[in-house]
Amino acid sequence: MPLASKVCDLTGPGLTDRFGVGGTDLGTTVTAPDGRLVSVFGDTFENAGVGGPGWRSPVVLFADPSSVRAGLSWTGCAGRDGYAQQVVGYRHRGFRRLGPSMLSLRRISTVLPTDALTVGDDIWLHVMACRELGNPRATELHRSRDSGDTWEPAEVVWPGDHLGGLFQMLTWEIDAAGEWVYALTTGFQRAHGLLLHRVPAGRIADPAAWEGWGFDGATWDWGRPPTEVLPGAFGEMSLRRVPDDSGREWWVLAVFDAGNYRIDVLLLDHPTANLHTAPRTTVVAGAGWGDEDHAGGRVAQLYGGYTVPGSTLSDLHLVVSQWNTGTNWPYRSMQFRADVSGLVPR
């Protein structure tokens, strides 16, 4: 199965600097209740690269859903006067805003988005409040009731060491019936495997309603302490329902496999499918800076890998990040296209 090919750069000079976005990364994307695409990015700076003025995170850009196949076309941002503002209230390396559930969270350097989810008329955003990269002090939920224009804290906080630190990075998706939200989680250190959880769609903001998928030595079931469903060293993830060309929906997990330096896609018929045996393929492979081939799916210092709404198995679009940590540019998000229809069992 061939690797993905690059569609376009999504951020950087000439693309997003009109929103005050020169350098940024991540870019998990969902369809808003009003039909727009909402992309949420991480650490963002006005200049191309990492550092300089305008440090903020997360920021939100809006895209035209008809533009997916040619590359996302940005139509606006969350903010005033065309400037993409930070949608979560805090100061970098300063003190958090004081609120009923935030009093214990002091001196964090950044708040990073892990995934967003549209449920009914709301968009939910899961974020990590970090004291330096790789050290989340807590994770939180935020919500937008106006299709991503403004956001408010949902006053839901999990400590950074919840479930042994394996509830820091999260991806989630709602089932076709709109009843259950399923979530895969791991740590932010790119050194751990995956846990599976579910929560009723109407109770996302109730931590007591979340339950794990656990193994008791003989059977798997809900309501148990979660058991690792896939060992490894994983980072950013994207769990989405994606149709094949016949219209049948599959659960697709795109995941940054940091241990093997690549982005893989796994095909599931249900979130509780056996991830050890699920059909799997590499869509973007890591490469050295002198050995890149974006047309052939080889990217240096890659991470991310978020499925874009409107994808199909034969035309799967992913937002992939790249950060040259030696020079701090490129530091951007890009769009890639892959055909993973060959994963469907015959």
Residue 107 has a pLDDT of 66
Residue 134 has a pLDDT of 76
User: What's 159's domain CATH number?
Assistant: 2.120.10.10
- pLDDT digits (tens), the chain, 346 positions: 899 999 999 999 999 999 999 999 999 999 999 999 999 999 999 999 999 999 999 999 999 999 999 999 999 999 999 999 999 988 776 433 333 343 334 467 899 999 999 999 999 999 999 987 778 999 999 999 999 999 999 999 999 999 999 999 999 999 999 999 999 999 999 999 999 999 999 999 999 999 999 999 999 999 999 999 999 999 999 999 999 999 999 999 999 999 999 999 999 999 999 999 999 999 999 999 999 999 999 999 999 999 999 999 999 999 999 999 999 999 999 999 999 999 999 8
Residue 206 has a pLDDT of 98
Q: What 3-state class would DSSP assign to 53?
A: coil
DSSP 261-298: TEEEEEEESSTTS-TTTS-EEEEEEEE-TTS-BGGGTE
Number of domains in the chain: 1
261 domain-assigned: yes
244 domain-assigned: yes
49 domain-assigned: no
138 domain-assigned: yes
302 domain-assigned: yes
Instruction: Please state the pTM of the whole predicted model.
Output: 0.95
Say how many C-beta atoms besides its own lie within 10 A of residue 141's C-beta.
Answer: 19
Residue 196 has a pLDDT of 99
Q: Is 5 exposed, middle or buried (0-12, 13-18, 19+ CB in 10 A)?
A: middle
- For residue 299, give its domain range: 106-343
Helix, strand and coil percent figures for the chain, each rounded to 5: 5, 45, 45
Backbone angles phi, psi at 259, to 5 degrees: -65, -30
Residue 108 has a pLDDT of 79
8 domain-assigned: no
Residue 132 has a pLDDT of 75
DSSP 80-116: STT----SS-B-TTBPBPP-TTTTT---BSEEEEEEE
207 domain-assigned: yes
Backbone angles phi, psi at 199, to 5 degrees: -150, 140
209 domain-assigned: yes
Distance set, CA 267 to CA 43, 139, 297 (Å): 30, 28, 19
Instruction: Scan for tokens 């191309």, then name that residue.
Output: 48
Residue 98 has a pLDDT of 34
The Cα 332–Cα 7 span in angstroms is 14
The Cα 12–Cα 21 span in angstroms is 7
